[in-house]
Structure 1
Amino acid sequence: MTAPVTAARNAVGEFGKLFGLALDIVVAMFKRPFQFREFVQQFWFVASVSILPAALVSIPFGAVITLQLGGLTSQLGAESFNGAASVLAVIQQASPIVTTLVVAGAGGSAICAELGSRTIREEIDAMEVLGVSPIQRLVVPRVLAAMAVAVLLNGMVSFVGVTGGYVFNVLLQGGTPGAFLASFSALAQLPDLWVGEVKAVIFGFLAGLVASYRGLHPKGGAKGVGDVVNQSVVITFLLLFFVNFVISVIYLRVVPAKGA
């Protein structure tokens, strides 16, 4: 059997295992007892390592989007739409992606490393022997924590990004505050905000899912744990951009633009 065929079969097998773990997590979320203390600890940890990087990254992100779109709208003579285009780009696209990239890079990598260390020390096997579900006991609280942090940070990143874009548009591009706000209120609608939050929930689930899956399947001892941490971050990034494309296409097809 050729190498490409073998690689394809392995990839399909890994995706099947990942999908199976996702189903197990969803089912375990509704089982009792719920590990509330573990969830709170993981939520606090992921939030503590993600909030500052997310806030710092959101400022230049919003500013770059606003400056780029501001220059484009100026060339087209549509300066009055600069606020709407910038804010919608931040809320719908940039904010969920930036938030989850930070959550996956900071919190997800730590989750993967912790579960990987537990696996190579055979703690996961010991839990299964004792009749304790590692998915319900360890994985579910971490996935829910990643989802909750992603949703809350998405709101913060949206606000900081929009504020940064507003300030840079007024200071550097000579925009007027009234025109920026008026164009946003004229074209934006409530579903634009909801789709960003829905993306944050899905992306947070994917970040926790991939980190947990790779953490439960390390190979080669301590070096294997380092390898799966890198793999979890890369795989999460790839999935985020693909899923973001799918959700954006569906949203733009289903929800009509304001005034259309």
Structure 2
Amino acid sequence: MTSSNPIVAGSSTALREVGKLFALGLDVVRNLFKRPFQLRELIEQLWFIASVSILPSALISLAFGAVISLQLGSLLRQIGAPSVAGATSVLANVQQAAPIICALLIAGAGGTAICADLGARTIREEISALEVLGISPVQRLVVPRVLASAVVAVLLNGLISIVGVAGGYFYNVVLQHGTPGAYLAGFSQLAQPADLVIGAIKAVFFGVTAGLVAAYRGLNPPSGPKGVGDAVNQSVVISFLLVFLINVALTGIYLTLVPPKGM
């Protein structure tokens, strides 16, 4: 018996979509180790996603580093703790800002291209043709794109972290007349290798999420002439929501399992 309640119907539809997304994720994991591996497709996707993401990543990381350093520097001077400005600025960039920036750019630049490409193939029935020929679209098209998103996300995370830390140092030391020695000393006293590790782990999760959502919406676009465009918009919104939810979960787990380093 079908429920006439629109809230219940909408909830069941959302749960069904979530289940299909998880099923696609399991298919990607299963096909990741199947031969032949699409190395050429992977290299092409790596180059494309990196080419559209590197410059925006560097520019946005400078802006984020400036905002974090200026705000934290002003606040810490008010409470009489300017010596920890370096630690708070660097940790905020490495743990939070860099992975988030990376995820937004992967989803906004690379994810939209992945969704549009797969969506166009779907409405032209190329995906159905592959299935008729006995070729797995997941292995042939989805796996290289999801893997490329994860790899580029990790590399971009390192770039964004370096640029953000350098920008934070410039704004804190040069513009706010901070002490370089205190800035670096505060970072070495509070930071630890686990901070870099959690940033890289977040980048992997965010890259996989962005690539998987884009691939799913591209393989299942809404019907009609606007289907591909609507699928692209939906993939960006869904990716952003999932990225922030995953970030909250990973941050909570990290703060629970890894004790903070004392002064």
TM-score (norm 1): 0.99
Structure 2, unaligned runs of 5 or more: none
User: Per-residue displacement from partner, 1:125-167 (whole Å, max 9, x unpaired)?
Assistant: 0000000000000000000000010000000000000000100
**Does residue 89 in structure 1 map to residue 89 in structure 2?**
no
Q: Contact between 1:117 and 1:222, CA under 8 Å: does it hold in 2?
A: no
2: CA distance, partners of 1:23 / 1:141: 15
1:40 paired to 2:19 = no
* 165-174 vs 230-239, which moves further: 165-174
Match of 2:175 among 159, 172, 195: 172
Q: For 1:77, what is the secondary structure of its paired residue?
A: coil
CA distance in 1, matches of 2:185, 2:53: 33
| SS of corresponding position for 1:212 | helix
Residue 259, structure 1, aligned to residue 262, structure 2:
yes
Which digits, 9 at most, give the CA deviation of each residue in 1:172-221, with x for residues without a partner? 21101111111001110000000000000010000000000000001224
- 1:222 Cα deviation after fit: 3.6
Asked if 2 retains the 8 angstrom alpha-carbon contact of 1:116 and 1:225, the reply is yes
Aligned equivalents of 1:259, 1:33: Cα separation in 2: 50
Counterpart Cα distance in 2 of 1:253 and 1:242: 17
Give runs of ≥4 in structure 1 deviating > 6 Å: none
Give RMSD over aligned pairs. 0.8
Corresponding residue for residue 68 of structure 1: 71
What is the match of residue 17 of structure 1?
20
Which of residues 241, 245, 250 is equivalent to 2:244? 241
Deviation at 1:100, TM superposition (A): 1.2
1:66-145 paired onto structure 2 within 5 Å:
66-145=69-148
Q: 1:49, 1:250 → 2: CA distance?
A: 32
Q: Distance in 2 between matches of 1:205 and 1:4?
A: 30
Distance 1:148 1:124 in 2: 25
- The one-letter code sitting in structure 1 at the alignment partner of 2:43 is V
State the distance in 2 between where 1:90 and 1:44 align: 26
Residue 162 of structure 1 corresponds to 165
**Residue 196 of structure 1 pairs with residue 221 of structure 2:** no
Aligned length: 260
Q: State the AA in 2 paired with 1:59.
A: L
Counterpart Cα distance in 2 of 1:68 and 1:21: 42
Specify the code of the residue in structure 2 equivalent to 1:63. Answer: A
Q: TM-score, normalised by structure 2?
A: 0.98
Deviation at 1:259, TM superposition (A): 2.5
Distance 1:91 1:221 in 2: 43
> Partner residue of 1:226?
229
Alpha-carbon offset, residue 31 of structure 1? 1.0
* Residue aligned with 1:218, SS: coil
Matches of 2:229 and 2:66 in 1, distance apart?
35
**Is 1:146 aligned to 2:175, yes or no?**
no
Does structure 2 retain, via aligned residues, the 8 Å contact 1:120–1:221?
no
Q: 1-side partners of 2:217 and 2:50: how far apart?
A: 21
Provide, for residues 82-123 of structure 1, a one-character-per-residue CA deviation record: whole Å limited to 9, x for no partner.
000010000000100001101110010000000000000000
The amino acid that maps onto 2:141 is L
